């Protein structure tokens, strides 16, 4: 249950998704949060400038430092995640890169898991290494290797849960405990889970990141990212965002607020649809393996049961055969669209070997854990029976 700070009572996450972070009386008595489409903000006189900079009043100054519509989205997400503060960005990667830049410097060391999003690992290993940041990559779920990788210079442990694309589940309490014991901050990308299914801060994680483009927005029509955590940590990242400028525009913030209002409803449907698809696929003779935490066969199913309220809307699976067999399956599906991304109301399907790792050879893809026969299915809110029937006819082509 989430806490309603305004009333002091305890209300559900769906209620918070609708009302959390928003004032009861809004500008012009509008029922929805208005879009404040302004790049700059006027001051009544020079005294107000001094009051602003000396902290006696809170107000907007310039669009790169924040926007009233953006602030509402941040407050709403902070309430949902159980965080003290939140900071919105122009994209999920902007949230990740700015957070890493804010928390790391030359000589610092980061521990990252091998199943983290490939662009995150690329930024760490290719970009930050040029600035003197050292990176150790450890297998997801190997907590002994994770702890052994920690050094005196380690500043962050970074992972995601569930991971992309194999839906690995990290034991968040163990990760947080390793971080606390070594005085290292922990960061979890929780995009696949959403605050409806999982709230890492409750397990001791310091910072949570989401790509708002995915489930939070929910309609494949915006780009956004958010980092959530303590006021001190988020405040330090906010200072750097004001310099780097990776800010969301007010209309994207408005769309994000609108999307969040139905987040609990959409995620509940996607959880149910994905569970049914995973169970169907696990029994199909042309499917070699299914990666979904809601299945008892998943290696971290027990952890997921303990720390999640639902298992998400992404089902990854491997078909028997080769790259061509997986492609025939994808091409034969009639309901899901072939596209990157995930979390929208429309089902999407892709082969990671082609969509995200096309430039690599089969051998190079296997080195980073991507099989040619792997298919990632982002389940939407369509009728599960229709999705299963469509997937069944497509599997006959394999």
Token pair in block for residue 92: 């999920």
**β 287-291/225-229 pair status:** unpaired
Annotated active-site residue in 117, 166, 215, 377 = 117
Instruction: Using CB atoms within 10 Å of the CB of residue 124, give its burial: 0 to 12 exposed, 13 to 18 middle, 19+ buried.
Output: buried
Annotated active-site residue in 214, 266, 269, 365 = 214
If you write DSSP's letter for every residue of 76-142 in order, what string do you get?
HHHHHHT-SEEEEESSHHHHHHHHHHHH--TT-EEEEETTS-HHHHHIIIIIGGGGT-EEEEE-TT-
Distance CA 150, CA 164 (A): 23
Annotated active-site residue in 64, 174, 258, 276 = 64
CA of 98: how far to CAs of 95, 211, 241, in Å?
Answer: 5, 13, 7
Answer whether 280's CB lies under 8 Å from 271's CB.
no
Residue 64 falls in the annotated catalytic set: yes
The enclosing H or E element of 173 equals: helix 172-181
Distance CA 202, CA 173 (A): 9
Q: How many helices (H) and strands (E) does the chain have?
A: 16, 14
With CA atoms as reference, report the closest residue to 326 among 364, 357, 296. 357
Distance CA 373, CA 289 (A): 10
Through-space distance between the first and last CA atoms of the chain, rounded to whole angstroms: 45
Residue 76 falls in the annotated catalytic set: no
Residue 272 falls in the annotated catalytic set: no
With CA atoms as reference, report the closest residue to 168 among 304, 269, 273. 304
Residue 117 falls in the annotated catalytic set: yes
Token pair in block for residue 187: 């960061």
Residues forming a β-bridge with 317? 290, 375
Annotated active-site residue in 85, 115, 171, 189 = 189
Any alpha helices (H) in 206-347, and if so which ranges?
231-244, 250-260, 263-283, 301-307, 323-332
222-241 burial string, b = 16+ CB within 10 Å, else e?
A: bbbbbbbbeeebbeebbeeb
Q: Which residues are catalytic?
A: 64, 117, 189, 214
């Amino acid at each position: 249950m989430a806490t309603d700070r305004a009333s002091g009572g305890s209300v559900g996450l769906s209620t918070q998704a609708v009302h959390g972070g928003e004032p009861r009386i809004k500008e012009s008595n509008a029922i929805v949060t208005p879009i404040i489409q302004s790049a700059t903000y006027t001051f009544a006189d020079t005294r107000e400038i001094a009051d602003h900079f000396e902290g006696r009043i809170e107000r907007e100054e310039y669009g790169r430092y924040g926007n009233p519509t953006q602030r509402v989205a941040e407050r709403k997400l902070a309430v949902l995640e159980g965080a003290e503060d939140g900071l919105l960005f122009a994209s999920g990667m902007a949230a990740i890169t700015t957070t890493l830049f804010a928390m790391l410097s030359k000589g610092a060391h980061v521990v990252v898991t091998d199943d983290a999003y490939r662009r995150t690992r690329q930024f760490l290993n290719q970009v930050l290494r040029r600035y003197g940041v050292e990176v150790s990559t450890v297998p997801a779920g190997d907590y002994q290797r994770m702890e052994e990788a920690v050094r005196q210079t380690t500043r962050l442990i970074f992972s995601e849960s569930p991971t992309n694309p194999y839906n690995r589940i990290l034991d968040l309490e163990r990760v947080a405990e390793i971080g606390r014991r070594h005085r290292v901050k922990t960061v979890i990308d929780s995009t696949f889970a959403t605050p409806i299914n999982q709230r890492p801060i409750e397990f001791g994680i310091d910072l949570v990141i989401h790509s708002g483009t995915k489930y939070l927005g929910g309609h494949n029509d915006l780009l956004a990212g958010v980092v959530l955590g303590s006021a001190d940590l988020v405040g330090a990242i906010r200072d750097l965002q004001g310099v780097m400028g990776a800010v969301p525009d007010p209309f994207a913030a408005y769309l994000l607020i609108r999307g969040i209002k139905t987040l609990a409803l959409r995620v509940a449907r996607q959880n149910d649809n994905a569970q049914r698809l995973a169970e169907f696929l696990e029994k199909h003779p042309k499917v070699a393996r299914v990666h979904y935490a809601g299945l008892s066969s998943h290696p971290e199913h027990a952890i997921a049961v303990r720390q999640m309220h639902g298992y998400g809307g992404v089902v990854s699976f491997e078909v028997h055969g080769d790259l061509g067999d997986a492609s025939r399956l994808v091409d034969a599906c009639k309901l899901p669209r072939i596209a990157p991304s995930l979390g929208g109301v429309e089902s999407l399907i892709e082969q990671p070997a082609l969509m995200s790792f096309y430039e690599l050879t089969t051998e190079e893809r296997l080195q980073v854990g991507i099989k040619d026969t792997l298919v990632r299915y982002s389940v939407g809110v369509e009728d599960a029976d229709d999705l299963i029937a469509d997937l069944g006819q497509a599997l006959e082509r394999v």
